[in-house]
Structure 1
């Protein structure tokens, strides 16, 4: 208690999440170039926000379905169970499935883990999933393989929960409990991007004029010095850009700083975009950054690679967590993201593929309709057989031949 009194004064007060993080990190570790870098300030960097949004939207936009596998090994939507509506429509009283999944993914992408409290009904089945803000929950090891999750909010303690009473979405894990905080790992890259942006903002605030020295002949007393300093401040800034500066007493302006071009602000900001994207595993083109070598054809390839290389691991993390900790584990129920629209080609390519698959009998016409998200039609469940590929069975045997 004496330690906190020395920091906060005679009367102690409750520390917020950022203050606690500063204390745990040693105070100055979370600062880069004099700027605080945490999950809140990092989101003010457009590249971080774009990367996190690209991942979160990729996990929230696709429809999430719960399927049941029947005795024949075929899947069908398990619309009759409460978990289907919980995950596909409304996980809690205030959020839709889209909003909840996006919030949980943002928490996991920024801080390493997203946590929601399971609210169970009388039958012990999960009825609601209540998300908890980062910094408002903690995990404690009570023994080698036992954990307790403690959650609170601005009104006080919510409760202590066993691992089975919370739903977790983990990012990259260091061990089976601890995850890697992306903001802390990318602190230097994010901090440099923030410092570069503030530096360039200050240049525009000063009318794109660098700092320098105002030199006059003779000595200035204190009053003259303060009056001249105030006069220079009044004559500076964007609003006075282009206004002539009248000097007397053989005054001279000597610049002491380099220009924005010499500082390579554009090159530095481009590099920081690529560096932050590298940390998050997001292709720069997904955040609106591309070089001159990118073409329309290569952009389409990047979009497809984004689904396979960036979103696929997050989708798998979602599905396995939902299957094992929310549904029946090794039972017949499982979840799946509908990502067909993300990987769909052009209309011409899809129509050519559908015609080839139907005419060669590889797909039934109803299977192709299902790929396009359409309901089946009567009489389209049998595969077509091309006339030059028909087969005749020999009498008394199983051999076939082409007619």
Structure 2
């Protein structure tokens, strides 16, 4: 049975055959092997040290940022500590996780699988009681003909439970269809596959007899018993711990090295380049994952600031806007919003911070207590007073003073 273009058109009704084929293809691609033969999945790529470091660093750095719920004021904002959602975001989203663990887990899900999900448990009047993390691999998301999303979650017994969209917190990474997110793993499979293959090649080299590539030469034909004993001896005496153990060669067998070393095969260069490639996919500065070749004292601080603004900030915005869309009601969104506090990560060195605070304090923009709070230090009574230079006056007062000094006539001035 062939599918017409009409049945595949997104505004038309999807046929059961199309859905079945899509599910079948998705099942086959789930464990798709790269051209190197390495199977690239969210689980296997975590064996690549650079990928593990990227996921750990980004998820941990996001989790260590304070996440607050704020209330908008006519001028400025204040922390909405009395709102029932505030303690869930700030400390305990559920009975077994801290806010740090919750944010780190769902951020890691986005980095590896493109999406992060949590069940929103609501009580009387729509009050949020808990945020329960869900396994990404068990969730199936579809867009209906009316553009609403349908969430089906498979429980531990394999039964699919339909979840109402208002009860699901859905965090998306880069998305191409607006429904589900994608990850570098999906579109850079060969880069991850080559990194996995390079690690496996090195492991196999050291897991053998650490002799390097070579061949066993025999003047004639090796008998079956001798071949079997050679196999068993090589297997039993293999490994790094047996590198100096002798191997008995029978019937005139001679080992001949091919003269190739790992350096000749550019093994180390390949591993280093793949590390940089993975870091590039996650927009991670190389020095954050231990690649220090191009790092200097003068550019480390700039790279660290770029990491905050270019790498972490987009993930923070995804979190903040998803919380506003999924967790807050339409009425609450008018007055409340969630936001990460980036002050600690955006601070420069001591000298730069001092100059920054001095300039804002000198024009009355910051009080002493404002500066102490930004530095995570204790405030003091009377520290909320703001100061301005005594020799400075508003522009209007200066104009009036100039007119009076000129004899009271403002004409021509």
Answer whether TM exceeds 0.5 for this pair.
yes
Match of 2:125 among 123, 126, 139: 123
Query: Cα–Cα, structure 1 residues 156 and 246, in superposed 2: closer, same or farther, change >3 Å?
Result: closer
Displacement of 1:233 after TM fit?
A: 4.4
Query: Cα–Cα, structure 1 residues 346 and 233, in superposed 2: closer, same or farther, change >3 Å?
Result: same
TM-score (norm 1): 0.85
Match of 1:283 among 276, 281, 285: 285
Displacement of 1:133 after TM fit?
A: 0.6
1:210-259 residue CA offsets vs partner (Å, 9 max, x unmatched): 24322244543322332344444455542333456676766432234732
Aligned to 1:9: none
Displacement of 1:167 after TM fit?
A: 0.5
CA contact (8 A) 1:22 1:30 kept: no
Matched, 1:269 2:286: no
Matched, 1:67 2:70: yes
Aligned to 1:384: 387
Matched, 1:34 2:37: yes
Distance in 2, matches of 1:77 and 1:83, equals: 11
User: What is the CA RMSD across the aligned residues, in angstroms?
Assistant: 2.9
Residues 47-86 of structure 1 mapped to structure 2, 5 A cutoff = 47-70=50-73, 72-86=74-88
1:237-296 residue CA offsets vs partner (Å, 9 max, x unmatched): 4233345667676643223473211111110011111111121222222112121x3112
Matched, 1:370 2:373: yes
CA contact (8 A) 2:35 2:193 kept: yes
1:93-144 residue CA offsets vs partner (Å, 9 max, x unmatched): 1111111111111111111110111111012121111111121111133324
> Gaps (5+ residues) in structure 1?
1-19
Distance in 1, matches of 2:142 and 2:384, equals: 55
CA contact (8 A) 1:66 1:336 kept: yes
Distance in 2, matches of 1:40 and 1:97, equals: 24
Distance in 2, matches of 1:23 and 1:321, equals: 26
Q: Secondary structure at the match of 1:315?
A: helix
TM-score (norm 2): 0.83
> Gaps (5+ residues) in structure 2?
1-22, 406-413
Distance in 2, matches of 1:53 and 1:27, equals: 23
Distance in 1, matches of 2:358 and 2:401, equals: 30
Matched, 1:294 2:275: no
Aligned to 2:313: 312
Aligned to 1:252: 254
CA contact (8 A) 1:392 1:401 kept: no
Aligned to 2:173: 171
CA contact (8 A) 2:234 2:247 kept: no
Residues 1-400 of structure 1 mapped to structure 2, 5 A cutoff = 24-25=27-28, 29-70=32-73, 72-157=74-159, 159-234=161-236, 236-243=238-245, 251-256=253-258, 258-291=260-293, 293-329=294-330, 330-374=333-377, 376-389=379-392, 397=400
Distance in 2, matches of 1:394 and 1:104, equals: 56
Distance in 2, matches of 1:184 and 1:111, equals: 9
Distance in 1, matches of 2:257 and 2:231, equals: 16
CA contact (8 A) 1:369 1:376 kept: yes
Query: Which stretch shows the higher mean deviation, 277-286 or 163-172?
Result: 277-286
Query: Cα–Cα, structure 1 residues 390 and 157, in superposed 2: closer, same or farther, change >3 Å?
Result: same
